[in-house]
Amino acid sequence: MRDLLNYLEYSNSSFFITGSSFNKYPAYSHSFRLAQEKCGLEGVFTLKGSDVNLPLGRNILPLVYVCKANSEAEATKFHKLIWNQNIVPFFIVETPKCFRLYPGFKFDTRTGMAKDQSLLEIAKTANAVLANLADFRATSINNGAMWSKWGEEVTPDKRVDTKLLNSLKNLSAWLQEHNMPRNAAHALIGKYVYLHYLKDRDILSYRKLSQWGIAEESVFGRNATLEGFYSVTDQLDQWLNGTVFPIPDNGPGVPSAEHIKMVASTFLGDDPNGQMHLDFKAYDFQHIPIETLSMVYQQFLHTEGKGRGQGAFYTPIHLVNFILDELDTKRPLQKGMTVLDPACGSGAFLVQCFRRLIEREAIKSPNKKLSPFTLRELLTDHIWGVEVDEDACGVTELSLILTLLDYVDPPDLEKPEYKKFQLPPLRDKNIFYCNQGFFDPESKWQSAKHRKGYDWIVGNPPWKKLNSEKMDNGDKYAIEWIRKNTQRFPVSSNQIAEAFAWEASQYLSAYGLFGMLLPAGTLFKTNGKKFREKFFSTLRVWCVVNFANLRHLLFQDAVNPAAAFFYSNINEINEDLSQIITFAPFAVNQLTRFEAEKQKHNKLWTVLVNADEIKEIPWTEAATGDSLPWKIAMWGSHRDRFLIHSLAKLFPSLLKFKEKHDLSIHEGLQLRTSKANEPVEYLKEVERRKELNINALKSLEEIYAFPKHALKPIEPNRAFVRKGRGKIPLQICYPPHIIISAARKFAVFSNEFIVVPPRQVGISGKPSQVDFLKALALYLNSDFVLYHQFLVSTYWGVERDRPDKSDLESLPIPLDALSPIDLSSWAQLYDELADATLNNYSKSESPLFDGHQKIRNISVLKQQLNDNVYALLDISETEKWLINDLLFVRKKLNEGKLAIEATKPANRDDINKYAKALKTELDNFLDAEIKDQHRITVYYNSHVAIIKIEHPGNTPAGAVTVLDIENRSVDAAFDELKSNLLSRHGQWIYFNRNLKIYEGRTTYFVKPRERLCWLRSQALLDADEFIAEKLT
């Protein structure tokens, strides 16, 4: 084992933790100790940030277990148990015969332990280890090289929680086919999951069953009986002070004896009909995390449709820990502090908080253990939750009790000194079932809540817009609260999550902290301005994490993206209020980026935050309620903010421009048939007139005129609109007018009547304004307009990729600065583009048509269009870099995509352009007269580059030098430089992909070869950071 650790460079690595350090990491300590006891765990190689102010700076991410087995069979057994733990993606086992590498997130449940499932079998020699496990050496993990080969083994869909849930759903379907109602089938399966948790953890031990006079076979055997099932259920409900997944003993949904036998035998590993392949033998509930019980409940809840109606979603444990870690950074959770989850669901946040408390108290104890009495006190004196769903309350209570018993030896409490110990009843003492919701002023929780408030308030409240016409439990009082607090605590669109954020904050203790998941749209939506104004001016918000780019990678079937808000009440000891820290983790900076070439979209199993993603928003800006600061923080920089604000001051918005020039702007007509289920009226003006068919344009690019096939006459039966909704949108159908795509793909001028379809925007004017409207259409097709709309749009790049009419109306319009000659020239250029488009439409029907020629012809004209717009707006060369890099590289990362334009290796030309831009910015800052003061040398290989910036005493410093270290003459120098620099920043590739190291008059930037890091706009930002660092 010692030799193995030396070969892998783990022995002296600060990222490799061993038994003596396991207790330092409360999120994982219990699992590490269990693996140490059951799986021969020797140590864990981890990801660990070096900055305690950043996420993962104080905690860890386990990557590789190193274990020792006494036989090959035991190594196979370890695989099953570690897969059930669901914590680590890889583990290496030493056996008497060899070393084996296993996937921690994969286990073929059909094969089971009949056949070893290791990825590699390696002879116990230095050469064999170095040849086969080189990717798992500390160096290869730290520099990210491991993932390019082994990342495909980290498949969340093969993890134990996903496999278990699929097995349970298949079993449920089978029960329903055999005459069991769906909700009853789910309850019975959930009950057996719970029973196996108790049995496998030795809580429901053989001696406990014997004491109750219950034969184990009558509950868990192939001939399980109704009597045995109900007997153990009754005994457990009394002993554990609560029930979970309640089963009726009469009426509809009562299980039959056959149902009990069927489920019990399936959990033993039998297949009731030989076709389901459920393989329950693979599951070991001693090792499956308790939180998985919450996941099973929540996912079954959704299947019944109940959860979606109540806005409930299961919060992944890594996201729960992400939020708790941030609170821990501010004020570590410890004995004497109180925790509240005002919408606790099935208890994920509370269980993790309770576990942290236990681990921190246990480490103070001489034997590192706590008595059941102390554990009970930690639970009842520190943990509280409120929930509108009674079943969820039961899951929370039992999950907390299971967590408590995890730390008791023996867990069945059958020990003489435990005879006087009783498990605490939690219902309506710590976990409150409020059937009318958190906002009910008469609920039991309201009369029992802590008068001094809570030190941590955490959770993920329901996200839904309340509708007084269609209310679920708890909605009535929430709606009343929102109406009552309109001025003091404004809420947008009756969003209950915002109401939770306000009301729960009233129960913070004097120095309490709040960490809660809310819809990311809270930061951006237009009608949320009042909420943001009041929220950011009333509360001390210190951090906001916007998970919008990870929307499809974090939550199962999530539609709306999430954001985590961290705040407290303003008090005299709050630190500086001037800045709010915010970051928007991008998929391209997650471990999934290493699968960019495969274009996979696996669910995330952790969240990493790169230092470059961390921004600051002035508190004064946030308190204005404007959404732009949050959008800029996600997609742009201070340079983008300056450009947008300066142009807004120089030129009128489209809203003011249209008033000055008497233009009409509106979204298109929403046509109906005469049989619509709402009052309609006939609009004779549109009958038999042409309507634009947006779907006919989907395959087209660079649209400046519409092809004939995209214009279809409106049939008489569709010439209806909602009553009173036809007159205004009809105006923008008359020529001369511009039709603008809802997605901003085109802005087409037309001099014929065209019905503008729904969501598209029309601008119409007078017949004398033809050239004027053509010039406006030309401007609207520019790269600048697309750039502007993307950054100012409420939802584009966040949730829906469609800006709205109000976004368009904020656009600065510089056309008043055009002379009559210029206006005519712009109109002529538009005509040329339209003619080229129509010409290409006709040519495309010819088999000899050359599509590349089409692109070249229009691209020349498009470049002229952009040049005209840039000149009119007085856009500088560096500002053009901002625009181009956003549109053609960064924007392609929208929706969590791993776009090749961003992830491919930067070539020599990219690196050279970056270096020249960096040098120019640095030289220009120091002295406009002396242009050559910084010497820049770039060394690069296939994976990484180091930029050396020197400020020599004598000028000129010389031109930029770019060296490919594949050239052997510079290879040694590069290796020495890299070794010296990175030895102090071991895992920079995960947490700081734009590493800057300052050493006197020489500075080093270290970057991966990824093109995203070598954009010229990035050079500008790097120069700004360099200058700021030097000035301070």
Concatenate the DSSP letters of all residues of 665-705 into one string.
EEE---EE-TT-SS-EEE-GGGTT-EEE-GGGGTT--S-SS
Same domain for 868 and 946?
no
Query: Residue 929's pLDDT is what?
Result: 65
Q: Are 325 and 59 contacting, i.e. CB atoms less than 8 angstroms apart?
A: yes
State phi, psi for 1001 to the nearest 5 degrees.
-85, 5
Q: What gap in Å lies between CA 825 and CA 804, rounded to an integer?
A: 30
Q: What gap in Å lies between CA 322 and CA 348, rounded to an integer?
A: 13
Same domain for 188 and 129?
no
pLDDT, tens digit, 9 for 90 and up, residues 175-219: 999 889 888 888 899 899 999 999 999 999 999 999 999 999 999
CA 279 to chain centre: 32
Q: Would residue 885 count as lying in a domain?
A: no
Query: Residue 541's pLDDT is what?
Result: 96
Same domain for 29 and 131?
yes
Q: Would residue 490 count as lying in a domain?
A: yes
Query: Residue 849's pLDDT is what?
Result: 45
Average pLDDT over residues 711-731: 93
Q: How big is the CA angle at 1015 (ends 1012 and 1021), to the nearest 5 degrees?
A: 105
Average pLDDT over residues 901-927: 93
Same domain for 228 and 276?
yes
Same domain for 421 and 443?
yes
Residue type, 191: K
Q: What gap in Å lies between CA 651 and CA 516, rounded to an integer?
A: 40
State phi, psi for 234 to the nearest 5 degrees.
-65, -45
* CA atoms in the 13 A half-sphere facing the CB of 965: 20
User: In the structure encoding, which two tokens stand for residue 912, read together?
Assistant: 């050279």
Give the list of residues 6+ apart from residue 663 with CB closer than 8 angstroms, or none. 657, 763, 764, 765, 769
Q: Are 193 and 296 contacting, i.e. CB atoms less than 8 angstroms apart?
A: yes
Q: Are 319 and 294 contacting, i.e. CB atoms less than 8 angstroms apart?
A: no
Same domain for 380 and 418?
yes
**CA distance readout (Å), 939 to 278, 328, 957, 984, 1014:** 54, 40, 18, 19, 13
Q: Are strands 579-583 and 539-546 parallel, antiparallel or unpaired?
A: parallel
578 has pLDDT over 80: yes
Same domain for 807 and 867?
yes
The per-residue DSSP string of 484-537 comes to HTTTTS--STTBHHHHHHHHHHTTEEEEEEEEEEEEGGGGT-GGGHHHHHHHHH
Q: How confident is the model at residue 596 (pLDDT cuts 50, 70, 90)?
A: very low
Choose one of 478, 508, 535: the last residue of a domain: 535
927 has pLDDT over 70: no
For the chain, give the percent of residues with pLDDT over 70: 92
State phi, psi for 67 to the nearest 5 degrees.
-125, 165
pLDDT, tens digit, 9 for 90 and up, residues 582-592: 999 999 998 86
Q: Are 554 and 603 contacting, i.e. CB atoms less than 8 angstroms apart?
A: yes
Decide which of 307 and 619 is more confident. Answer: 619
Task: Indicate the angle between helix axes 160-177 and 291-303, nearest 10 degrees.
Answer: 40
Q: Would residue 549 count as lying in a domain?
A: no
Query: Residue 275's pLDDT is what?
Result: 57
Give the list of residues 6+ apart from residue 985 with CB closer than 8 angstroms, or none. 50, 992, 995, 997, 1006
Same domain for 171 and 30?
no
Q: What gap in Å lies between CA 867 and CA 826, rounded to an integer?
A: 11
Average pLDDT over residues 941-956: 87
Query: Residue 308's pLDDT is what?
Result: 44
Residue 890 bridge partners (DSSP): none
| Residue tagged 């038999």 (tokens) | 688
Average pLDDT, the chain: 90
Q: Are 228 and 384 contacting, i.e. CB atoms less than 8 angstroms apart?
A: no
State phi, psi for 881 to the nearest 5 degrees.
-60, -40
**What's the length of the chain?**
1032
Same domain for 432 and 478?
yes
Give the list of residues 6+ apart from residue 170 with CB closer than 8 angstroms, or none. 276, 278
Query: Residue 296's pLDDT is what?
Result: 78
Average pLDDT over residues 293-298: 78
Decide which of 985 and 1013 is more confident. Answer: 1013
For the chain, give the percent of residues with pLDDT over 90: 68
Q: Are 323 and 517 contacting, i.e. CB atoms less than 8 angstroms apart?
A: yes
Q: How confident is the model at residue 943 (pLDDT cuts 50, 70, 90)?
A: confident
- Scanning 273-430, the segments in alpha helix (DSSP H) are 291-303, 306-309, 317-330, 348-362, 372-380, 390-406
Q: What gap in Å lies between CA 393 and CA 398, rounded to an integer?
A: 9
Q: Are 209 and 215 contacting, i.e. CB atoms less than 8 angstroms apart?
A: yes
Q: Would residue 649 count as lying in a domain?
A: no
Q: Are 1011 and 906 contacting, i.e. CB atoms less than 8 angstroms apart?
A: yes
Same domain for 142 and 169?
no
Q: Would residue 993 count as lying in a domain?
A: yes
Q: Which has the minimum average pLDDT: 720-724, 784-788, 874-878, 992-996? A: 992-996
Neighbours of 92 (CB within 10 A): 25
Same domain for 938 and 835?
no
Q: Would residue 466 count as lying in a domain?
A: yes
Number of folded domains that form the chain: 5
Give the list of residues 6+ apart from residue 248 with CB closer than 8 angstroms, or none. 184, 254
Report the predicted TM-score, pTM, of the whole model to 2 decimal places. 0.91
Q: Would residue 28 count as lying in a domain?
A: yes
Q: Are 778 and 829 contacting, i.e. CB atoms less than 8 angstroms apart?
A: yes
Q: Would residue 688 count as lying in a domain?
A: yes
Choose one of 88, 119, 154: the last residue of a domain: 154
**Residue 556 backbone zone (phi > 0: left; psi -120 to 50: alpha; other: beta):** beta
Average pLDDT over residues 455-474: 92
Q: Write out the residue range of the structural domain in which residue 912 sits.
A: 904-1031
Residue 755 bridge partners (DSSP): 691
Choose one of 288, 319, 349: the last residue of a domain: 288
Beta strands in 157-300 (DSSP E): none
Which CATH number belongs to the domain containing residue 476 in this structure?
A: 3.40.50.150
State phi, psi for 940 to the nearest 5 degrees.
-145, 150
CA 150 to chain centre: 23
Neighbours of 929 (CB within 10 A): 5
Q: How confident is the model at residue 90 (pLDDT cuts 50, 70, 90)?
A: very high
Same domain for 198 and 140?
no
